[in-house]
């Protein structure tokens, strides 16, 4: 068991180190890491699906002395999603960075950074220790910033700098919160913190940590750094940044409020989370509607989609946890996070292919792509279905579960937000889709079929998540705060 | 076998759809063989199931999305009514479309979405739970958009935009209605009685109204009909399928399911919402006909006629008496046969003689006698003259109105018949009586283009004349009504 968890965190890390030494073999090393982690994740899912979360104490020291890693259903879902995204990133990255020449600094730096980022994210999914989580966050952030700046262009450097500033402040705030909790209770393990006696400084600590995490996941109003950073990075990097990085911060936020300190979440606080989420959905959506570059549309879409995640707090946090449908809402949010991760990564990979063939990412350049790159266009369409939340897709399952829960618990307002958000998403994705379908004056350059098919793998999985949703539904249950509830409420 | 049949019949359209996307554009033969093969296989399966279901068989395929939330495909009498219509008309439209497009480019994409659209219709017919219905309903929206914008000029994109601008908010309302209902009563299957006790009457009325709004866009109920006349810019085979089987019928069929299998006509009566629905349908019937009077474009006139005719179905459902229900059910088929004939002919007029405006119809009867005859049969059916199928519908609706003590409906039926005559007969007059301005040569299209119209026109006559037989649309509608929806 230790081996499985060690592989999931350690293999990307080891591959990153090797990629630093053997710079020319970064691509094959990454592919090997993906294969290894895929096997380990599959094994982990099989074991966890038997019904119990898997826990190991690193080096045999139990908490509070040592470090505990725990794989529950939630972690399994996110690990699997990350592995899929990384396989897409590796498949496209190898072609992308090969084309730019082996001597370029970008090629040399990309693989270690991407692998390190992945290792950090996997560690975050498995950690139950607030300080460990901080280390993971910090490593993830530094890699993410470096990936934004990797091509060394003036505008991406500016975006990376702004990202770094926000992210470092976020780290500081988070660390401050951890220190406050530790000084009050002397423990860092999430389970032990849940069992603590509430101290007066706890609410301040939680607030500081939340602010830090909000900055890292680009939650409205801390989102301004995201669109230039995500749209400026090379496409395979953008896929990771948009699909994985905010999700890692969100998992910590969710574990913090639902597992570590659920007693602190007052109704007003839950409503505040919901309001921020709503603002993100609307603001991000409207901004996406106004962009004329594909990567900016997709990046603002991330700002908007992150808002949905926040609805987990009014629907399932604090006192709402006992309401009918709370468990469904929580699973709905997990479905949403996974489906968004897959679909968003697929979209950035599509954008990368089109940029490579057209030379820019203005929407105008998408004309005729349905004919020139039909498989990519199809993948983009599927990803759009998942993002809008049309059936059948993981996004739809998410929306259905969250909507039912909102109505069952009488919180009509969030149902309205969910439906409006879906319409807004349809509106801003209509423009790229219509362009893809439009007639082109000159036929765009064709792209090889195997490269075209890479995003299809991810978008197809986002759709599959909505067709075969019964298995994941039961998996997420395991080790969740609602582990004892059977099926739909 | 019983478990596989519904999946099999769905895949007769779904599989060709998926495969067609991957066929190179110049492989016309492969593509045509694939979609025609699927259509023939589907016809065979439908024929087999018709005879089995008449003897009481039921076929089901189910699996779970989430514990308790079921995906269910179910073949029963009502689903077969719609399924048979879509299978027969898909086959004919397929032949027509192959002849219509010839060897134009980008047909693989067209036929891919075309088959997908039929697969969605099949799914709608077979859906046994609200959630599966919604899935196919959305698939239909998505698969018809590329068909509407197929010509890809500014007008088609505008029509496509209008279509989505109506359809997407409607689907949000539909989803809200489904979720509201299911959050209170649990997942809804059409065959199981729903326990409404946790919802008060006002909530039920609002939920039903939301269902009508969500489905009413596709059924083109006023004031949600604005997209339909615009969508007539689509190529003729698309319009034919849209107006006869796919989109508008999906809306009407959905309203049937909600009325009969979710709420039940008695409960809706108790809630006092059947009369408003009947009035809405009647208003749509009249409004569509009045608008049709002012059109100069043939396809646009036909579009307004569809708006009017589809509401006969909804009127029949809303009236709720035995004859009215049968009339509504049977009009689902009758209107399909008659309207597809008219669109087949309109497409042939355009393609062969370049005629798109009513003014240009003069003397066309002499030049394209077969097509013009079929068009005439369709028109007579629309007006509701005996012995066409349209006449049967109107008789049943009229008697049904009397059974339900809704005498005002008779006035609507008479007024609508007069209006239909007023906007359709001038076309017939121009085609057969007026002389062509120039002396032009016969331009009768190939057998592949006229054949489907001849078949559907004859079918609409046979359906009217043989209405008493058990396997006529009327016989089947009576079977459905006897099996479940009558007190």
Name residues whose C-beta falls within 8 Å of residue B380's C-beta, 6 or more positions apart in sequence: B388, B390
Average pLDDT over residues A479-487: 77
Percent of chain B with pLDDT over 90: 39
Taking only the tens place, the pLDDT of each residue in A136-176 is: 999 999 999 999 998 888 888 999 999 999 999 999 999 99
> Contact B157/A403, CB-based, under 8 Å?
no
pLDDT of residue B487: 41
Question: Quick one: pLDDT at residue A483?
Answer: 77
Nearest alpha carbon to residue A186 among A174, A176, A171, A196: A196
Q: Which of B21, B67, B179 is nearest residue A488 as measured by Cβ atoms?
A: B67
Q: Which of A437, A438, A474 to mutate to test the interface with B (most CBs of B within 10 A)?
A: A437
Average pLDDT over residues B53-70: 82
**Best CA proximity match to B184, nearest among B216, B212, B206:** B206
In tens, the pLDDT along A324-383 reads: 788 889 999 999 999 999 999 999 999 999 988 888 888 888 888 888 888 899 999 999
C-beta atoms surrounding A25 within 10 Å:
15
Chain A residues with beta carbon closer than 8 angstroms to that of B21: 374, 378
Measured between beta carbons, the chain B residues lying within 8 angstroms of A326 are none
Interface residues on A facing B, Cβ-Cβ cutoff 8 A: 325, 370-371, 374, 378, 385, 390-392, 396-397, 399-401, 403-405, 407-408, 415, 419-420, 422-423, 426, 430, 434, 437-439, 466-467, 469-470, 473-474, 486-488
Mutate to test the interface with B, among A329, A373, A391 (most CBs of B within 10 A): A391
In B, minimum Cα distance to A469 occurs at B65
| CB spacing of A470 vs B65 below 8 angstroms | yes
Average pLDDT over every residue of B123-132: 92
- Return the C-alpha torsion angle B380, B384, B390, B392, nearest 10: -140
* The Cα angle at residue B345 between residues B450 and A438, in degrees rounded to 5: 105
C-alpha to C-alpha distance for B128 and B479, rounded to whole angstroms: 19
The pLDDT > 70 percentage for chain A reads: 96
Contacts of B72 (CB under 8 A, 6+ apart): B60, B61, B62, B127, B128, B129, B132, B189
Contacts of A400 in chain B (CB under 8 A): 69, 131, 175, 179
User: In this predicted structure, what is the pLDDT of residue B351?
Assistant: 85
* Most confident of the ranges A107-111, B195-199, B259-263: B259-263
**Number of structural domains chain B divides into:** 1
The ipTM assigned to this model is 0.89
- pLDDT of A101 > 80? The answer is no
Mean pLDDT, to the nearest integer, of A308-313?
93
Determine, yes or no, domain membership for B177.
no
Nearest to B164 among A430, A438, A488 (CB): A430
How far apart are the CA of A313 and the nearest CA of chain B, in angstroms? 19
Distance (Å) from the alpha carbon of A368 to chain B's nearest alpha carbon:
11
Interchain contact, B142 vs A423, CB within 8 Å: no
Give the DSSP letter of residue B258. I
B183/A403 Cβ within 8 A: yes
Q: What percent of chain B has pLDDT over 70?
A: 98
Chosen for mutation from B149, B154, B172 (greatest number of chain A CBs closer than 10 Å) is B172
Domain range for B465 is 268-487
Give the DSSP H/E element, type plus range, for residue A192.
helix A190-194
The confidence score (pLDDT) of residue A99 equals: 53
* Alpha-carbon span B342 to B358, nearest angstrom: 13
pLDDT bracket for residue B473 (50, 70, 90): confident
Count how many Cα atoms sit within 13 Å of the Cα of residue A64 in the half-sphere of its side chain: 13
Q: Please give, rounded to a whole number of angstroms, the shortest distance from the CA of A442 to a CA of chain B.
A: 15
Is the pLDDT confidence value at B486 over 60? no
- Inform me whether the C-beta atom of residue B199 falls under 8 Å from chain A C-beta atoms: no
The residue that leads in pLDDT, A389 or A371, is A389
- CA distances to A394, B239, B426, B476 from B388, rounded to whole Å, are 48, 23, 19, 17
Residue B48 contacts by C-beta under 8 Å, 6 or more apart in sequence? Answer: none
Q: Is the pLDDT of residue B35 over 60?
A: yes
Give the pairing type, strands B59-66 and A54-57: unpaired
Question: Nearest-CA residue of chain B relative to A396?
Answer: B135
Distance CA A67, CA A70 (A): 10
B320 belongs to a structural domain? yes
Max distance between CA atoms of chain A, in angstroms, equals 69
Contacts of residue B180 in chain A, CB cutoff 8 Å? 407
Between positions 223 and 252 of B, the ones with CB within 8 A of A are: none
A75-90: per-residue pLDDT in tens? 999 999 999 999 999 9
State which residue of chain B sits closest to A324, comparing Cα positions. B183
Q: How far is B138 from chain A (nearest CA, A)?
A: 7
Contact A408 B109 (CB under 8 A): no
- The domain segmentation of chain A, as residue ranges, is 287-489
The tally of CA atoms less than 13 A away on the side-chain side of residue B447 is 0
Q: Across the strands, what pairs with A55?
A: A70
Rounded distance, CA A352 to CA B359, Å?
53
Best mutation target, A434, A438, A446, A472, to test chain B (most B CBs within 10 A): A434
Indicate which of A390, A420, A428 best probes the interface with B, i.e. most B CBs within 10 Å of its own CB: A390
Contact status of B151 with chain A (Cβ, < 8 Å): no
Chain A residues close to B172, C-beta within 8 Å: 419-420, 422-423
Average pLDDT over residues A9-22: 92
How does residue B439 score in pLDDT terms, banded at 50, 70 and 90?
low
Alpha carbon of A416: minimum distance to chain B alpha carbons (Å): 9
Test A487 with B65 for CB contact under 8 angstroms.
no
Contact across the interface for A439 and B131, Cβ inside 8 Å: no
Give the E-state strand segments of B48-95 in sequence order: 59-66, 69-75
Distance from CA of B87 to the nearest CA of A (A): 24
pLDDT at residue A274, rounded to an integer: 93
* Chain B residue closest in CA terms to A382: B142
Q: Do A374 and B21 touch (CB under 8 A)?
A: yes
Between chain A and chain B, the number of residue pairs with CB atoms below 8 A apart is 86
Are residues A391 and B176, on separate chains, in Cβ contact within 8 Å?
no
Q: Which residue of A has its CA nearest to B182?
A: A404
Angle, alpha carbons A407-A408-A413 (nearest 5°): 30
* Å between A432 CA and nearest CA of chain B: 13
What mean pLDDT value characterizes chain B? 88
Cis check: omega of the bond before B329, within 30 degrees of 0:
no
Enter the DSSP assignment of B26.
Answer: T
A385 and B142: CB-CB below 8 Å?
yes
Reply yes or no on whether the pLDDT at B171 is more than 90: yes
Q: Provide the pLDDT for residue B1.
A: 55
The C-alpha atoms of residue B68 and residue B190 are separated, in whole angstroms, by: 14
Q: What pLDDT, on the 0 to 100 scale, is given for residue B258?
A: 92
CB A139 within 8 A of CB A120: yes
Nearest CA to A9 out of A74, A71, A101 is that of: A71
Q: Is residue A465 very low, low, confident or very high in pLDDT (cuts 50, 70, 90)?
A: very high
**Mean of the per-residue pLDDT values of chain A:** 89
Distance from CA of A426 to the nearest CA of B (A): 8
Chain A interface includes B154 (CB < 8 A):
no
| Cβ distance of A437 and B149 shorter than 8 Å | yes
Q: Which residue of A has its CA nearest to B179?
A: A404
Residues facing A129 on adjacent strands: A189
State the SS3 of A290-349. CCCEHHHHHHHHHHHHHHHHHCHHHHHCHHHHHCCCHHHHHHHHHHHHHHHHHHHHHHHH
Is A434 within 8 Å of B183 when comparing Cβ atoms? no
In a domain, B248, yes or no: no
Min distance B366 CA to chain A CA atoms (Å): 39
* Contact B63/A at CB under 8 A: yes
CB contact under 8 A, B68 and A488: yes
CB within 8 Å: B68 and A325: no
């Amino acid at each position: 068991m230790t081996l499985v968890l060690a592989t999931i965190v350690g293999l990307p890390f080891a591959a990153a180190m090797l990629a630093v030494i053997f710079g020319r073999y970064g691509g094959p090393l990454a592919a090997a890491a993906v294969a290894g982690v895929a096997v380990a994740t599959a094994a982990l899912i099989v074991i966890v699906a038997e019904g119990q979360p898997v826990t190991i104490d690193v080096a045999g020291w139990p908490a509070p002395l040592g470090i505990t890693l725990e794989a529950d259903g939630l972690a399994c879902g996110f690990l699997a999603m990350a592995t899929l995204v990384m396989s897409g990133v590796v498949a496209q990255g190898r072609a992308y960075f090969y084309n730019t020449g082996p001597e370029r600094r970008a090629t040399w730096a990309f693989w270690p950074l991407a692998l390190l980022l992945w290792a950090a994210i996997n560690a975050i999914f498995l950690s139950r220790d607030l300080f460990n989580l901080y280390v993971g966050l910090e490593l993830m952030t530094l890699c993410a910033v470096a990936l934004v700046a990797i091509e060394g262009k003036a505008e991406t450097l500016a975006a990376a700098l702004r990202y770094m500033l926000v992210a470092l402040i976020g780290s500081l705030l988070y660390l401050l919160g951890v220190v406050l909790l530790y000084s009050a209770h002397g423990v860092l393990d999430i389970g032990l913190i849940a069992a603590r006696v509430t101290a007066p400084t706890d609410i301040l600590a939680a607030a500081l940590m939340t602010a830090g995490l909000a900055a890292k996941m680009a939650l409205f109003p801390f989102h301004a750094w995201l669109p230039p950073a995500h749209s400026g990075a090379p496409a395979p990097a953008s896929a990771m940044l948009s699909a994985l990085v905010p999700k890692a911060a969100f998992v910590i936020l969710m574990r913090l409020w639902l597992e570590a300190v659920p007693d602190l979440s007052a109704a007003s606080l839950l409503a505040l989370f919901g309001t921020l989420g709503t603002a993100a959905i609307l603001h991000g959506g409207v901004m996406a509607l106004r962009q004329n570059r594909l990567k900016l549309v997709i990046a603002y879409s991330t700002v908007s989609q992150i808002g949905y995640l926040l609805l987990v707090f009014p629907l399932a946090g604090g006192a709402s946890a006992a309401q009918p449908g709370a468990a469904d809402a929580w699973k709905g949010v997990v479905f949403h996070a996974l489906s968004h991760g897959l679909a968003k990564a697929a979209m950035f990979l599509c954008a990368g292919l089109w940029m490579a063939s057209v030379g820019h990412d203005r929407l105008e350049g998408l004309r005729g792509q349905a004919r020139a790159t039909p498989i990519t266009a199809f993948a983009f369409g599927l990803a759009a279905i998942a993002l809008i939340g049309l059936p059948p897709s993981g996004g739809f399952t998410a929306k259905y579960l969250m909507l039912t829960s909102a109505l069952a618990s009488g919180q009509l307002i969030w149902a309205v937000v969910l439906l409006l958000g879906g319409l807004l998403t349809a509106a801003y994705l209509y423009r790229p889709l219509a362009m893809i379908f439009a007639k082109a004056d000159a036929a765009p350059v064709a792209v090889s079929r195997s490269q075209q098919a890479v995003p299809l793998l991810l978008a197809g999985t986002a759709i599959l998540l909505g067709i075969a949703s019964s298995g994941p539904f039961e998996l997420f249950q395991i080790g969740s705060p609602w582990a004892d509830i059977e099926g739909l409420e | 076998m019983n478990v596989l049949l519904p999946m099999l019949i769905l895949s007769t359209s779904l599989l060709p759809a998926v495969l067609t996307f991957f066929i190179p554009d110049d492989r016309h033969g492969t593509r045509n063989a694939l979609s025609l093969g699927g259509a023939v296989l589907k016809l065979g399966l439908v024929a087999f199931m018709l005879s089995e279901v008449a003897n009481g068989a039921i076929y089901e395929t189910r699996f779970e999305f989430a514990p308790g939330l079921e995906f269910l495909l179910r073949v029963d009498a009502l689903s077969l009514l719609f399924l048979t219509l879509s299978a027969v008309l898909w086959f004919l439209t397929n032949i027509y479309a192959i002849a219509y497009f010839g060897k134009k480019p980008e047909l693989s994409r067209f036929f891919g979405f075309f088959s997908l659209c039929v697969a969605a219709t099949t799914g709608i017919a077979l859906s046994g739970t609200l959630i599966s219905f919604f899935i196919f309903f959305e698939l239909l929206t998505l698969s018809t958009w590329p068909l509407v914008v197929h010509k890809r000029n500014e007008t088609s994109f505008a029509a496509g935009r209008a279509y989505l601008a109506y359809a997407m908010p409607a689907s949000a309302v539909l989803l809200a209605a489904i979720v509201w209902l299911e959050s209170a009563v649990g997942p809804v299957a059409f065959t199981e009685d729903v326990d409404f006790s946790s919802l008060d009457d006002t909530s039920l009325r609002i939920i039903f109204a939301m269902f009508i709004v969500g489905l009413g866009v596709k059924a083109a109920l006023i004031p949600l009909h604005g997209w339909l006349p615009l969508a007539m810019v689509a190529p003729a085979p698309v319009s034919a399928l849209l107006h006869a089987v796919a989109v508008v019928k999906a809306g009407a069929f959905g309203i049937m399911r909600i009325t009969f299998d979710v709420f039940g006509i008695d409960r809706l009566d108790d809630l006092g919402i059947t009369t408003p629905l009947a009035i809405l349908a009647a208003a749509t019937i009249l409004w569509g006909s009045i608008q049709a009077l002012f059109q100069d474009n043939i396809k646009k006139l036909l579009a307004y006629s569809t708006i009017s005719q589809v509401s006969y179905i909804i009127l029949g459902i809303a009236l709720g008496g035995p004859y009215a229900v049968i009339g509504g059910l049977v009009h689902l088929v009758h209107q399909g046969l008659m309207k597809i004939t008219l669109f087949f002919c309109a497409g042939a007029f355009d393609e062969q003689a370049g005629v798109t405006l009513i003014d240009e119809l003069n003397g066309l009867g002499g030049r394209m006698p077969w097509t013009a005859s079929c068009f005439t049969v369709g028109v007579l059916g629309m007006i509701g003259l005996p012995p066409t199928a349209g006449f049967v519908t109107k008789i049943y609706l009229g008697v049904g109105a009397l059974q339900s003590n809704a005498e005002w409906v008779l006035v609507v039926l008479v007024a609508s018949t007069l209006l239909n005559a007023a906007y359709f007969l001038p076309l017939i007059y121009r085609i057969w009586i007026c002389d062509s301005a120039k002396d032009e040569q016969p331009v009768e299209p190939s057998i592949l283009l006229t054949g489907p119209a001849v078949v559907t026109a004859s079918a609409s006559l046979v359906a009217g004349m043989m209405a008493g037989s058990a396997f006529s649309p009327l016989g089947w509608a009576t079977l459905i009504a006897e099996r479940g929806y009558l007190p």
